[in-house]
Amino acid sequence: MAAAAMKHRVVIVGGGFGGLLAARGLNKQPVEVTLIDRRNFHLFQPLLYQVATGGLSPANIAAPLRSILRRQRNTRVLLGEVIGFDLVNRQVQLHDGSAIPFDSLIIAAGSTHHYFGHDEWERFAPGLKTIEDATEIRRRVLSAFEEAERIADPLARARLLTFVVVGGGPTGVEMAGSIRELAAQTLRFDFRAIDPAQAKVILVEGLNRVLSGFHETLSRKALEALRKMGIEVRLDCHVVDVQSDHVLVRPDSGKAPAERIETSTVVWAAGVQANPLGKLIASAVGGVEIDRSGRVVVNPDCSVGNRSDVFVIGDLACYRGRDGRPLPGLAPVAMQQGQYVADVIARQVRGESRRGPFQYWDKGTMATIGRAQAVAESMGLRLSGYLAWLAWLFIHILYLARFENRVLVMFQWFWNYVTRNRTARLITGPGATTCRAGAVAGGSEPPGHS
Amino acid sequence: MAAAAMKHRVVIVGGGFGGLLAARGLNKQPVEVTLIDRRNFHLFQPLLYQVATGGLSPANIAAPLRSILRRQRNTRVLLGEVIGFDLVNRQVQLHDGSAIPFDSLIIAAGSTHHYFGHDEWERFAPGLKTIEDATEIRRRVLSAFEEAERIADPLARARLLTFVVVGGGPTGVEMAGSIRELAAQTLRFDFRAIDPAQAKVILVEGLNRVLSGFHETLSRKALEALRKMGIEVRLDCHVVDVQSDHVLVRPDSGKAPAERIETSTVVWAAGVQANPLGKLIASAVGGVEIDRSGRVVVNPDCSVGNRSDVFVIGDLACYRGRDGRPLPGLAPVAMQQGQYVADVIARQVRGESRRGPFQYWDKGTMATIGRAQAVAESMGLRLSGYLAWLAWLFIHILYLARFENRVLVMFQWFWNYVTRNRTARLITGPGATTCRAGAVAGGSEPPGHS
């Protein structure tokens, strides 16, 4: 124990892509790693929309952190919530009053939804960040069809069969495409009173194109694909109000009046905000800039302010490249930063020379739109359609490979693809056994969302 | 519509084994079937314990009712809660004020837990009937290991690593075996401060043997297998109190004092009680006997009292065979009764001769104990060990076959078996993000169970 206690102690906060890769990067190094997370699993967030639309089960895209790190003997996993940093005594403070000492600290706590100052919209328009978010959205989407089948009033039925997705980034596009597929294909023969294929899916985007992180050609291709699937896309439109039975949308152009879209199911895919731990660490270090969305502006080696022992990575970090533009909040950025910081610490511990600044190697980005439809760009190469979808499938399965679920997910996807079925269409969770009369009556809060 | 409206209307309450098989039995018959359930899926309850211990995902053992019945054109599925029966006007009353008219009514609403007058125990000792029960038990079991890893106090740690299962029937035996396997095998390398294999699993049974529904030889074999796995079995013992940090158990024999078992995780697998709809239909018909556990005593053709148009089947029915003993609450009984009643109605509608009384064909019963351990008996034949387990596996997969999930479940099982892993070990649901400090402090309510 005495010898072990003298080892360099690395504490990692967050078991997402950044934190996990940092932990992995420290495997077999002469350090003692403690990975702290509020949840007992790593979540493969890019596929969360598949859970929200019944294509995959939560367990397909989540792997217990302990299980992933079981063979890494220098690493322990701690389930806990970080509530503060004591940088003088170099300790991380947990919710239960305990303090975890560190020699190096890596904070990778990620991001959450952002409602642009309208937090009251959240209960009507849940975002998609956690497993619980996904099963809640799944419950709402599926319950809307159920309710529509049960009631006769054509207006209420039309409202129930209208789904609004706010935000035309990858998550919004994927959600809109999936809901449309669910309605038009999976549920096709399931109902008697309604025709699910009549369901309207409306995608609202504030900019003048979807997937604005991609090249314009691909935005156009994606827009075409979405419209071909029957999705209504409103560009240059901002949401100005969200209620239980409608959304108010205002076009940017001229003096056009706000449009009222009658809907009982809204999915929020518009804004993200850094975890509050960002502000906490910035003020603990002192003199550290925080960007508009709450991210910590980091040094070229991902350290913070004048503390060479404190690193912030992933969605929580604002890393400005040589052109001054911050890196996007993508899994590959977090993963590469995790690996980089692990290497920085390992070199320091071994007394080796310091590494140069972090460099993001952009292998490319991709987004799916629907069955056999995707866009991808990589090193100047732009793909769309079936080929892009195959590439997307392949790469996501490769990613998942590290998390043991590869075979299961592949199998489930293949199964869904062949049968056009989605086997995880369960309405579960709080409020699942009562029917959503409230949402139909209008005005009252949808049950199960307290 | 006019022609359709004149068809004989069959309303089925409950989409479990009984209700589903009744609906299937009416396929292509000249009737109009409405299947009403509170949930949108059929649940394969015999495998719920696999979800509770992380072996399977909820979607593996649940299939959307609409999906199962999508091709059955004479049948519609209605998501709703039945709150009453108007037998004068032949209507079923739903929670939303609507009324569904019927010509024949089949009630298959199943059963729920029973705490022998101690409903206050439920929050400390959840039962295992629904998907939410299973994920809640999964959360508690996995969180106990997490908490034990985090704290140093040896007494609190021992309490967290003690799991009590109340009830030595098939569910109790399967739960005890699964928890023990989870601890000794799946989690073996996952922790640093604790050795999960040291976890104690205690099975408490009121009678003098486990699996009392089976032949004594098999009870003995099961007891041996359980003890070999390291499970402590207390026979002839009754639970007299359940609190957040302990269970009081009193042996039947002599004047032995009650034993206090320190534990923070209790699973209830002891008593079942019929759905309250049983009492409701009995009093609506009038002059109908209700048995001790709330089941409706039915006529030889599963009809109720003097109503030849009202049937009660499955766990909700008390069907007395020629020897006067009621049939057990097993899936095969419910399934055969469902098929039987469908046939009774079909014959009546087609004007054919009436069928004789219902006859249960006992194909046998089986229960698993652990990895490659089971007991089975069928027509005088008694099996135990590996062969019984293979038979159990085979039959359960055959059963699931009808519900489309066969391949997925088989695959997941095979995967778990080969890797000794359980991929669905997620701590999710309300209360999943806060850690269970309450349970350790003792006395206060475990979070996430409000």
The single-letter code of the amino acid at B103 is: D
pLDDT value of position A374: 87
Domain match, A135 and A252 both: yes
pLDDT value of position B412: 64
CATH number, residue B414 = 3.50.50.100
Identified catalytic residue from B32, B136, B147, B174: B174
Q: What is the pLDDT of residues B251-292, one digit of tens each?
A: 987 677 899 999 999 999 998 899 999 999 999 999 999 999
What domain count does chain B have?
Answer: 2
In a domain, B64, yes or no: no
Q: What is the pLDDT of residues A8-41, one digit of tens each?
A: 999 999 999 999 999 999 999 999 999 999 999 9
Chain A residues close to B131, C-beta within 8 Å? 426, 428
Chain A residues close to B152, C-beta within 8 Å? none
Q: What is the pLDDT of residues B57-72, one digit of tens each?
A: 888 788 888 988 888 9
Domain final position from A320, A350, A380: A350
Distance CA(B275)–CA(A17), nearest Å, equals 46
In a domain, A134, yes or no: yes
B281: left (phi over 0), alpha (psi -120 to 50) or beta: alpha
Domain match, A255 and A399 both: yes
Domain match, A285 and A419 both: no
CATH number, residue B22 = 3.50.50.60
pLDDT value of position B364: 84
Cβ contact (<8 Å) for B404 and A421?
Answer: yes
Domain match, A397 and A264 both: yes
Q: What is the pLDDT of residues B47-56, one digit of tens each?
A: 899 889 988 8
For chain B positions 339-368, those within 8 Å of chain A (CB to CB) are none
Cβ contact (<8 Å) for B41 and A426?
Answer: yes
pLDDT value of position A436: 36
Domain match, A248 and A396 both: yes
> SS3 sequence, chain A?
CHHHHCCEEEEEECCCHHHHHHHHHCCCCCEEEEEEECCCEEECHHHHHHHHCCCCCHHHHEEEHHHHCCCCCCEEEEECCEEEEECCCCEEEECCCCEEECCEEEECCCEEEECCCCHHHCCCCCCCCCHHHHHHHHHHHHHHHHHHHHCCCHHHHHHHCEEEEECCCHHHHHHHHHHHHHHHHHCCCCCCCCCHHHCEEEEECCCCCCCCCCCHHHHHHHHHHHHHCCEEEECCEEEEEECCCEEEEEECCCCCCCEEEECCEEEECCEEEECCHHHHHHHHHCCCCECCCCCEECCCCCEECCEEEEEECHHHEECECCCCCECCCCHHHHHHHHHHHHHHHHHHHHCCCCCCCCCCCCCCEEEEEECCEEEEEECCEEEEEHHHHHHHHHHHHHHHHCCCCHHHHHHHHHHHHHHCCCCCCCCCCCCCCCCCHHHHHCCCCCCCCC
Interface probe for A, chosen from B74, B143, B190 (most Cβ of A below 10 Å), is: B190
Domain match, A106 and A122 both: no
Task: Work out the average pLDDT over B430-449.
Answer: 38
Domain final position from B300, B324, B349: B349
Interface probe for B, chosen from A1, A43, A61, A67 (most Cβ of B below 10 Å), is: A67
Task: Work out the average pLDDT over B184-209.
Answer: 93
Cβ contact (<8 Å) for B39 and A432?
Answer: yes
pLDDT confidence band for B91 (50 / 70 / 90): very high
Rounded-to-10 torsion of CA B276, B278, B281, B286:
-110
Chain B residues close to A63, C-beta within 8 Å? 423
Domain final position from B299, B324, B349: B349
Chain B residues close to A62, C-beta within 8 Å? 426
Domain match, A28 and A124 both: no
Task: Work out the average pLDDT over A359-377.
Answer: 86
Closest residue on chain B to A39 (Cα): B433
Closest residue on chain B to A73 (Cα): B192
In a domain, B418, yes or no: yes
Domain match, B148 and B262 both: yes
Cβ contact (<8 Å) for B427 and A191?
Answer: no
pLDDT at B16 over 80: yes
Interface probe for B, chosen from A150, A417, A423 (most Cβ of B below 10 Å), is: A423
Cβ contact (<8 Å) for A41 and B404?
Answer: no
Cβ contact (<8 Å) for A426 and B40?
Answer: yes
pLDDT value of position A446: 32
pLDDT value of position A235: 96
- On whether any CB of chain B is under 8 Å from the CB of A289, the answer is no
Chain A residues close to B80, C-beta within 8 Å? 150, 435
pLDDT value of position B3: 47
Chain B residues close to A193, C-beta within 8 Å? 76
Instruction: Please give the structure tokens belonging to residue A446.
Output: 């949808």
Domain match, A145 and A92 both: no
pLDDT value of position B403: 56
Q: CA A338 from chain center: how many Å? A: 18
pLDDT value of position B342: 98
Nearest by CB to A58, from B149, B426, B435: name it: B426
Alpha helix locations (H) across B182-321? 216-228, 277-285
Average pLDDT of every residue of chain B: 87
Domain match, A131 and A191 both: yes
Closest residue on chain B to A438 (Cα): B96
Nearest CA-CA partner of A316 in A306, A301, A302, A300:
A302
Domain match, A294 and A415 both: no
Task: Work out the average pLDDT over B223-234.
Answer: 96
In a domain, A65, yes or no: no
In a domain, B68, yes or no: no
Give yes or no: B174 in active site.
yes
Can you give the residue range of the structural domain that contains A30? 2-38+80-110+275-350
pLDDT value of position B212: 92
Q: What is the pLDDT of residues A434-449, one digit of tens each?
A: 433 333 233 333 333 3
pLDDT confidence band for A247 (50 / 70 / 90): very high
In a domain, A399, yes or no: yes
First to last CA, chain B: 47
In a domain, A102, yes or no: yes
pLDDT confidence band for A57 (50 / 70 / 90): confident
Cβ contact (<8 Å) for B432 and A132?
Answer: yes
A59-73, A334-348, B101-115: range with lowest mean pLDDT: A59-73
Domain match, A176 and A132 both: yes
pLDDT confidence band for B441 (50 / 70 / 90): very low
Distance CA(B14)–CA(B20), nearest Å, equals 8
In a domain, B177, yes or no: yes
pLDDT at A259 over 90: yes
Closest residue on chain B to A37 (Cα): B433
Identified catalytic residue from A174, A181, A205, A377: A174
Nearest by CB to B407, from A142, A191, A415: name it: A415
pLDDT value of position A415: 62
